[in-house]
Amino acid sequence: MEKKRDGKERHAAAGKEGDAAKGGERKSSTGSDESGSEIEKGYSRYELIRHIWNDLGLTPGETVYGTGTFSSSDRDTLISSDIMLEGIDFNLVYFPLKHLGYKAVVRSIAGIIASGGSAGALSVKAAVSSKLNVEQIRELFAGVSAAAERYSLTVVGIDIKPSVTGVTISTTSWGSAGSARAATGNEERGADDIRPNDLICITGDLGAAYAGLQILERESRIFSEGALPQPDLSDYRYIIGRQLKPDLRLKLLNEIRDKGIEIGAMTIIRDSLASTLTGLCIDKGLGCRLYYEKIPVDSETGSVAGEINTDPVVAALNGGEDYEFLLFAPVSYGEELLSIPDISVAGYLTDASEGLYLVSPDNTLMELKAQGV
């Protein structure tokens, strides 16, 4: 169940920017939300957008002043949109703005990558309140720029508008579906074809982002009450990194493809493993057996789960925001999949008549349901 990694691996997985994990900057979420037509005195909306284009090292085009909405008649084009709302998806008390911009991009392109496509272009719109100054807004877009560079994306549109209800970030990404079959590798079945007895495979580990969120919320409450000074979160570096700055395991997908493993279908685990798996099985008219002991959980997640009195596997099943891939492959590829580090074979698909079940360590069947932790 638990996965252990050394310090070097942990640092790489959590990302090199761990400022927040060390008890770094805390952006207050208090203050006036009144916003006028100018973001800050001396900067109009369009002037600030131009400054951000310059920060990105790009020349603004017509999309700077437009809505950033594009359409395509190309059947092989994939489009993904996402929105993040302050107070719902993030808390600026502990969420560094650069990490927020980075995460917004990852959320936007995750579905395209999971569909077997290749993301190529990105448009970002931000509604900001008066509590953010110009430098903070530029910091937000510095995170967008870092993610665009990391995933080889072209930023084709930027827009900024005032908000009276906090910060909102809306992203739209475009990609090519031309590589979908190559990514899934299943010429005989075709993409998105899963069947009974196919293996249920999970990349990386689950529950870390949820555990990181619980620690951030706990320390934020303690800090706001003035009970303790600025907290030292260095012991939680990995799980906090998974919450604040997730990354997609593209190298792992490439390794699967290079080994010639035929993936029948692939999706992203965003809401939770339980909701993603049960939803897909219901849509496809299938059942499943998911083994409790095979669900991958990092050792730090297990330790923190003990602190917060939560079963680490329950956190892995229902926590969400892991941005790991859920893969399905014919059973004939079992040995090859097990030979790849950071891939766990956690169960198999069945006929719908056999139901959706979690198998306990003593082989007891427990109905698998999507629910909050």
Please tell me the distance from the alpha carbon of residue 92 to that of residue 213, in angstroms, as a whole number: 13
**In the prediction, which pLDDT does 121 show?**
95
Question: Is the pLDDT at 47 greater than 90, yes or no?
Answer: no
**Residue ranges, CATH 3.30.1330.10, the chain:** 31-178
Strands 297-298, 2-3: pairing is: parallel
Q: Which CATH superfamily is domain 199-367 in?
A: PurM-like C-terminal domain (3.90.650.10)
Q: What is the percent of the chain with per-residue pLDDT over 70, rounded to a whole number?
A: 76
Other Cβ atoms closer than 10 A to 252: 18
| Fold category of 31-178 in CATH | 60s Ribosomal Protein L30; Chain: A; (3.30.1330)
**In the prediction, which pLDDT does 187 show?**
54
- pTM for the full model? 0.81
**In the prediction, which pLDDT does 371 show?**
74
- 103 with 247: CB under 8 angstroms? no
Task: Locate 277 and state its tokens.
Answer: 């798996």
**In the prediction, which pLDDT does 77 show?**
85
Label residue 23 by pLDDT band (50, 70, 90): very low
Task: Locate 315 and state its tokens.
Answer: 């956190």
Rg (the chain; Cα; Å): 21
Question: Is the pLDDT at 170 greater than 60, yes or no?
Answer: yes
CB neighbours of 254 closer than 8 A, spacing ≥ 6? Answer: none
**Residue ranges, CATH 3.90.650.10, the chain:** 199-367
CB neighbours of 96 closer than 8 A, spacing ≥ 6? Answer: 17, 19, 20, 24, 25, 27, 139, 244
**In the prediction, which pLDDT does 44 show?**
58
Question: Is the pLDDT at 285 greater than 50, yes or no?
Answer: yes
CA distances from 308 to 63, 274, 314, 343 (A): 47, 21, 12, 27
Question: pLDDT tens-digit profile of 102-149?
Answer: 999 999 999 999 988 899 999 999 999 988 999 999 999 999 999 999
- Phi, psi dihedrals of residue 35, rounded to the nearest 5°: -130, 140
Sign of the dihedral through C-alpha 43, 47, 52, 55:
negative
**In the prediction, which pLDDT does 59 show?**
53
Question: pLDDT tens-digit profile of 5-21?
Answer: 544 444 344 444 444 44
Task: Locate 267 and state its tokens.
Answer: 């999706």
Task: Locate 329 and state its tokens.
Answer: 């492959």
Please tell me the distance from the alpha carbon of residue 65 to that of residue 161, in angstroms, as a whole number: 11
CA distances from 242 to 20, 254, 280, 285 (A): 12, 21, 24, 33
Q: What is the DSSP letter of 350?
A: E
Question: Is the pLDDT at 156 greater than 90, yes or no?
Answer: yes
Residue 209: helix, strand or coil by DSSP? helix
Please tell me the distance from the alpha carbon of residue 107 to that of residue 247, in angstroms, as a whole number: 9
Angle of the 7-14 helix axis to the 237-244 helix axis, nearest 10? 20
Q: Which amino acid is at 284?
A: K
Question: pLDDT tens-digit profile of 229-284?
Answer: 777 888 999 999 999 999 999 999 999 989 999 898 999 999 899 999 998 999 89
